[in-house]
Amino acid sequence: MKFSLEWLKYFLDTDAAVEDVATTLNAIGIEVEGIDDPAEKLDGFRVAEVLTAKKHPDADKLQVLTIDAGQGEPLQVVCGAPNARAGMKGVLGLPGAEVPANGMKLKKSAIRGVESNGMMCSVRELELGDEHDGIIELPENAPVGTSFAEYHNASPVFDVAITPNRPDCMGVYGIARDLAAAGLGTFKPIEPGAIDAKGACPVEIRTDDPEGCPAFYGRVVKGVDNTVSSPDWMQKRLIATGQRPINAIVDITNYLMLAFGRPAHAYDLAKLSGPVVARRAKDGEKVEALNEKTYTLDSSMTVIADDNGVHDIAGIMGGEHSGVQPETTDVLLEIAYFNPEAIGVTGRKLGLASDARTRFERGVDPAFLDDGLAILTSLIQRVCGGEASEVVRAGSPPSEPKVVRFDPALTAKLGGVEVDEAEQKRVLESLDFTVDAAWNVTCPLRRHDIEGPADLVEEVVRIHGLDNVESVALPRVDGVARPTATPQQQIERKLRRAAAASGLNEAVTWSFLPTDQAEHFAALRQAQDEREALWVLDNPISEDMKAMRPSLIPGLLSAVKRNMDRGAESLRLFEIGRRYLRAKDGSSDEHPTLAVLLAGARTPRGWATGKAQMFDAFDAKGAAEALLAEAGAPVANLMVMGDAGPQFHPSQSGTLRLGPKNMLARFGALHPATLDAFDVDGPVVAVEIYLDAIPAKKGKQGFAKPHYAPPALQAVTRDFAFLVPADLPAGDLLRAVKGADKKNIVDARVFDVFAGQGVPEGKKSVAVEVTLQPGEKSFKDDELKAISDAVVAAAVKQGAELRG
């Protein structure tokens, strides 16, 4: 919200400088986001008088002016404005000045061969309005040579952030009241004078929706002249807030809203037919709003209508059809109190935001209806003339003030600052609270945010000064602080660092998915081929965020698509988050999960490598095992099994398990149907690690870890070649070999796989290198033979036979 210092001082008697006002605003909880000083933009512009005006010798539409700018010698200026003439006074931009509207820096130049020393300026060029048909014409008594910023009384403009709980400060009047309470000056309350009413209102006004519109007041003003402009002082204040002056009546309604936080509306009486009623819209009714867009309404929305239909989306925006125009002579003024919750619901349904909605959905002052209508009527009569009818009051606004029992000692207890009881009472009363001898505090109706004693403490503390609250450290128990992170959180932190260190880039995606994507990744029940029921939100942010994600892979796939569409050739993404599953009994749970997606080229094409090497299922398996090892999983004991799910390629995927039922991870290439569903070009490989399936380590770890001591003796390697069934996983063979002698065998790896000539049908040759580590003494021949025999025997149990 923006307002000028001049406007603020209209309601606040103070000599405070701009810096003092800004400091006090911040101190009482009204954050100053910026201060704009228009005088800086008008630096270099002066009040000037045109002494002579002659036709340009080489241009029909240009004149050569002689200008007195109060600098001694007259200046010559070339001007194309049709209203430029001798004897008039205007605004001259001197060389070196910067035109606010376009940033052009003025300089001495020649225009069609004639020297020009600056520029005579229009209203638009100085950002004082939209007029640009001619240069500014100032009154005859304007002092020549005076800085135009000084003459124009350009006032600094504050841009403040008003929190949603303070709708009473959505007008300059409310901000002035707060500043006066903080001691910055004296508040000048507005007392609207009596309006000389001329007979009854000729229009029936009523509310048929007391829930959405509890109170609807109005009156008619006939014989107005809306062809006149609103006063300069009003236009200056509106322009300072960013409002564009439109016509006198519209400007006055905008002024009422910005000054007092009270939206109102004026209808062209000639465009209305029959009673004007606040009612519920009918399903499918349409209205063209002032923004020239048509909105379809439903029966939950409150509207203002007559016999011809809807004219106003109540509390949000008026209609285009009944708006006042310069030719309007009779107006119906409307001021109402609308239900804040209903206004918010309507605005969200229509996707329609406005200054009026911002104020109504936060809650306007229900006690300001009569005063607001009186001020509005008085301003219109002062500017446009006209005769006002009596006021019609349909319904009644909330009128029962809230009374809160307050204990002044709470200010020190909750606010952390000692404030004298007399000062607390002064603060509350300066904000229009009423305090009796027993500290029963009656709240003004405009303060919707006051719910209990704690809110009154906040009022006292912020006016007393938030800067006066001493910073006090929380008490701390002696000794070493206990760790606050849970074991699960520690694992996630460790995995996040490990994944990033391995070259993966972390992504953070939504926990919600489109329903079709969530269904594609819904888990299959073990008992039957039936997908788990998804958790679908009743009130989602949007239709694309309706289902809770059963997997992290869809979000990463969407990230892959976005990056590939923008030219990325290689993607390495990971995410740590939660999956949301729903059991058959309807219960739900969230599961910590780590997902990895590798897409595109693992290595780019090059003269040494040839074609680009794409990611494959083995890359996914390697990533899964490395991250599981970081998480503390017993990787050496893991079994590689199939059934990674229908989202994965059946022959290029697998799972890592501790036993047949405890799946720790699944990995592999994604199924082409999955990639088609997400419109992603393959190949893409993925890993999904289920962190809650990793068994916890037994025992407690101390602070110190045992140091590494390298073996004293050199390791020994032995090679074995086995004939095994073609469908035997190499991992099963390696696991059997390692388990043949757990004391002496420290590693085993496959270094060759062969099938073809010399190998029987349905078989393959697998060569395994076994690493043996001697302890205190070297192996003897008979010990090596015993270990070798144990290795062969373990392999035979897996269906293998030693090759000759």
Instruction: Provide the 8-state DSSP code for 304.
Output: E
Token pair 């029987």 is found at 760
> Domain 403-467 falls in which CATH fold?
Phenylalanyl-tRNA Synthetase; Chain B, domain 1 (3.30.56)
Nearest by Cα to 291 from 307, 313, 306, 276: 313
Let me know: does 170 contact 239? Beta carbons within 8 Å: no
Q: Which residues does the annotation place in the binding site?
A: 449, 455, 458-459
Would strands 276-280 and 205-207 be described as parallel, antiparallel, or unpaired?
Answer: parallel
**Amino acid 275: pLDDT:** 95
Cα gap 787→445, rounded to integer Å:
90
> Domain 716-802 falls in which CATH fold?
Alpha-Beta Plaits (3.30.70)
Continuous H helices in 109-208: 148-151, 172-181
Residue type, 561: K
Let me know: does 735 contact 706? Beta carbons within 8 Å: no
**Amino acid 529: pLDDT:** 42
Cα gap 15→171, rounded to integer Å:
21
Tally of CB atoms within 10 A around 560: 25
**Amino acid 321: pLDDT:** 85
**Amino acid 71: pLDDT:** 85
Distances (CA, A) of 375 to 132, 195, 270, 382, 436: 32, 9, 23, 10, 32
Per-position DSSP letters for 414-472, written without gaps between them: HHSS---HHHHHHHHHHTT-EE-TT-EEEPPTT-TT--SHHHHHHHHHHHHHGGGSPP-
Would strands 570-582 and 505-506 be described as parallel, antiparallel, or unpaired?
Answer: parallel
Per-position DSSP letters for 637-654, written without gaps between them: G-EEES---TTEEEEEEE
**Amino acid 699: pLDDT:** 56
3-state class percentages of the chain: helix first, strand second, coil last, to nearest 5 = 25, 30, 45
- Give exposure, 671-694, as e/b (b: 16+ Cβ within 10 Å): beebbebbebebbbbbbbbbbebb
Phi and psi at residue 573, to the nearest 5°: -115, 150
Q: Where are the domains of the chain?
A: 2-37+156-187, 40-151, 205-395, 403-467, 487-693, 716-802
Tally of CB atoms within 10 A around 257: 24
pLDDT digits (tens, 9 = 90+) for 314-324: 999 998 888 89
Residue type, 495: L
Which residues of the chain fall short of a pLDDT of 70? 523-533, 583-588, 698-707
Nearest by Cα to 643 from 524, 740, 491: 524
Three-state DSSP class for 624? helix
Cα gap 181→101, rounded to integer Å:
39
Token pair 């004293």 is found at 712
713 CB contacts (<8 Å, ≥6 apart)? 773, 774, 775, 777, 778
pLDDT digits (tens, 9 = 90+) for 625-641: 999 999 999 988 888 88
Distances (CA, A) of 587 to 205, 314, 460, 523, 581: 54, 43, 47, 15, 9
Rounded to the nearest 10 degrees, the angle between the axes of helix 453-465 and helix 421-430 is 90
Q: Does domain 2-37+156-187 have CATH number 3.30.56.10?
A: yes
Phi and psi at residue 38, to the nearest 5°: -60, -25
Q: How many residues does the chain have?
A: 804
**Amino acid 454: pLDDT:** 95
Token pair 């073996």 is found at 711
> Which CATH number applies to 205-395: 3.50.40.10, 3.90.1530.30, 2.60.40.10, 3.40.366.10?
3.50.40.10
Q: Which residues does the annotation place in the binding site for Mg(2+)?
A: 449, 455, 458-459
Asked whether this chain's domains 40-151 and 716-802 adopt the same fold, the reply is no
> Domain 487-693 falls in which CATH fold?
BirA Bifunctional Protein; domain 2 (3.30.930)
Cα gap 762→545, rounded to integer Å:
50
**Amino acid 228: pLDDT:** 93
Nearest by Cα to 48 from 64, 65, 70, 63: 70
Q: Spelled out in words, what is the top-level CATH class assigned to the domain 40-151?
A: mainly beta
169 CB contacts (<8 Å, ≥6 apart)? 30, 162, 175, 178, 261
Residue type, 287: V
**Amino acid 354: pLDDT:** 93
Three-state DSSP class for 408? coil
Per-position DSSP letters for 17-39, written without gaps between them: -HHHHHHHHHHTT-EEEEEE-HH
Left if phi > 0, otherwise alpha if psi is -120 to 50, otherwise beta: which for 226? alpha
